[in-house]
Amino acid sequence: MPTGDSPLNTPLKLAALLSLLAGPSAQAQDHAYFDWFEYTGHDPVHDSVELQPGQFLNPVLSGFYPDPSNTRVGEDYYLVTSSFAYFPGLPVFHSQDLVHWRLIGHAIDRPDQVDFGDLGLSRGLFAPAIEHHDGIYYITNTCVDCGGNFVITADSPEGPWSDPVWLPELEGGIDPSLFFDEDGSAHILNNGPPDRTPEYDGHRAVWIQRFDTETLSTFGPRTVLIDGGVNFEEQPIWIEGPHIYKVDDWYYLTAAEGGTAVNHSQVVLKSRSPEGPYTPFEGNPILTQRDLPNDRPFPITSAGHADLVQTPDGDWWATFLAVRPYEGDLYNTGRETFLLPVDWTSGWPVITRPGEVIDYTLDRPALPEAETGLQPMTGPFTIRDEFDGETLSGDWLMWRNPQSDWYTLNNGALELELREVSLSDFSNPSFLGRRQQHIYGEASTLVHLEGPGQAGLATVQNDEYWYTLTVVVDESDGRSVEVRRRNGAASPQAGALLGSLPFDTDTPSGVRLRVVMRGPQIDFYAATAQGDWVEILTGADARLLSTSVARGFVGVTIGPYAHAVRD
């Protein structure tokens, strides 16, 4: 988590100290209090697969963790994923077995490193790549619509990471990555426009250029390594996410191809020089699920954007993104991180062969046992946050850069300031979310609000597609629990009222709220602290929260939300 003066870790200000001393009632009109938050999930596929001793379960990072890039340092593995306009950004994970991952920090954890402004949630930080060389950790990344391509460095993967050093020669491109050759020389690759007017929609190229590790700058000529894709006659789209690996005097160049939806894939080429020319593998793609029937049970689709890593014993593995739709191409959990072995028997790295299904269960890598006590990141699990620490856990995210200290942790409760910034404002509302990691999951909390205003749980895909389940205190209409929904830019910014129930929200013990996600449906309940659950609305359409409907590249997050005026 952030350090220093970041609003996510700032020591309590004077106003917060006065609030703590006076108790909740002294600030009741300005704040909402959440005693705890619980998330639990168990998907139907978990009842259909049997995990044997020595096996692991895919995905290894469930929920919105796309575009994984990894690197090995000795016997340790580090991984980073995209985060777009969420803050803090670029989560960094550590593992000793490639299966169990522990969040150790965020590479973008200070508001002044990059500024997301009022960008849509699917802009911002795209496809990072992490490397280690000569004692220094590097992450290359693109801040789309907020600065372009950059590199950051750190002495430790936990951070702190440096401020961005921008790479202007990569302007117009995305997905930069570094390759360090055996002699210490470095190259930077990226997706960029072709060297001429694009010949079709999605026509892109992979470029390479020398990189100076002392000045953190590019130099020398830029060269096109892949024009369009491995077979230009087929007009392949969105060649991106390139990486180079050197194996037995050959340089292998891999990249994603086909777009990040159901036609996603990974391709490979090789050369005797990092700058090419490269010859494509006749068996491409080396990873895809686009050649499988759509009606297969518990499908895993849209596989691609892989990064390879070799273990000390010489085995190779690939981390990559894929999705788990609940119907058609609908999924709310976002693009997730999967793990598969890499087969080199043909002289080329192959992850899946034609018609091969990505399995949910596989034999674990031959690596030491993972550290104990890790938070589960896949399979059935329950996580409960009592908000009794000095700082929030790294699971919690907010929209865009914080401009003020609008939350604190007080007396074992999360305190959110009631501000006039709503979920529809393309700004930084009083919302803290954690990823939905199951197709079938639920979230619950205990909230105190004396009003006026609203506070509760928000289940969000972006600023224009969300549900709220909130306690509402209105000076004229009294107290109630409401469900509201926003369904696109044309829908009311305040959300349409779908369900409302008068409720005694003035109880000193607070009101419990519960959101249940069941694939394409979502349910909302409320209860007093010790009472039975009361149905507010069930069977609402959760498909509007899917990536396919709401568009973009993120997944659903859910968590505490507070707003100063009644939406």
- Residues 77 and 309: beta-carbon distance below 8 Å: yes
Residue 174, CA atoms < 13 Å, CB-side half-sphere: 19
- Bridge partners for 554 per DSSP: none
Opening angle at CA 19, ends 14 and 23, nearest 5:
155
Are 421 and 407 spatial neighbours (Cβ–Cβ below 8 Å)? no
503: number of CA atoms within 13 Å, CB side? 31
**Cα dihedral angle (314, 107, 415, 102), rounded to 10 degrees?**
10
Which of 450, 396, 392, 461 has its CA nearest to residue 423? Answer: 461
Task: Report d(CA 526, CA 511) in Å as an integer.
Answer: 7
> Which residues touch 555 (CB under 8 Å, ≥6 apart)?
63, 64, 331, 332, 333, 334, 335, 435, 436, 461, 547
Region for residue 205 given its phi and psi (left: phi exceeds 0; alpha: psi -120 to 50; beta: otherwise): beta
> In the chain, what is the straight-line distance between the N-terminal and C-terminal CA atoms, in Å?
32
Domains detected in the chain: 14-40+380-563 (2.60.120.200), 66-363 (2.115.10.20)
Q: Which of 43, 109, 131, 240 does the annotation list as catalytic?
A: 240
> Do the Cβ atoms of 258 and 264 come closer than 8 Å?
yes
Q: Residues with Cβ < 8 Å from 251, sequence gap 6 or more?
A: 244, 245, 270, 271, 272, 273, 274, 278
The pLDDT of residue 503: 83
For every one of its 567 residues, what pLDDT tens digit does the chain have, with 9 covering 90 and above?
A: 333 333 343 322 223 322 322 333 334 448 999 999 999 999 999 999 999 999 999 999 999 999 999 999 999 999 999 999 999 999 999 999 999 999 999 999 999 999 999 999 999 999 999 999 999 999 999 999 999 999 999 999 999 999 999 999 999 999 999 999 999 999 999 999 999 999 999 999 999 999 999 999 999 999 999 999 999 999 999 999 999 999 999 999 999 999 999 999 999 999 999 999 999 999 999 999 999 999 999 999 999 999 999 999 999 999 999 999 999 999 999 999 999 999 999 999 999 999 999 999 999 999 998 878 899 999 999 999 999 999 999 999 999 999 899 999 999 999 999 999 999 999 999 999 999 999 999 999 999 997 789 999 999 999 999 999 999 998 776 889 999 999 999 999 999 999 999 987 677 789 999 999 999 999 999 999 888 999 999 999 999 999 999 999 999 999 999 999 754
Assess whether 240 carries a catalytic annotation: yes
Dist CA 197 CA 508 (whole Å): 66
How many of the other CB atoms lie within 10 Å of CB of 142?
Answer: 24
C-alpha 443/C-alpha 459 separation (Å) is 9
Structure tokens at 558: 């859910």
Locate 201 and state its tokens.
Answer: 């929609």
| DSSP, residue by residue, 242-283 | EEEEEETTEEEEEEEES-SSTT-EEEEEEESSTT---EE-TT
Q: What is the pTM of this model?
A: 0.93
E-strand spans in 389-529? 398-399, 407-410, 413-417, 430-431, 434-435, 440-448, 453-462, 465-474, 478-487, 496-502, 511-518, 521-528
Q: What is the DSSP letter of 21?
A: H
Residue 396's nearest CA partner among 107, 143, 86 is 86
Catalytic residue, candidates 35, 43, 67, 109 = 67
Give catalytic status of residue 199 as yes or no: no
DSSP state of 402: -
Give the distance, in angstroms, between the CA of residue 563 and the centroid of all CA atoms in the same chain: 25
Beta-carbon contacts of residue 525 (< 8 Å; ≥ 6 apart): 513, 514, 515, 516, 533, 534, 535, 536
| Of 243, 299, 238, 229, residue with least CA distance to 264 | 238
- Which amino acid, one-letter code, is at 309? V
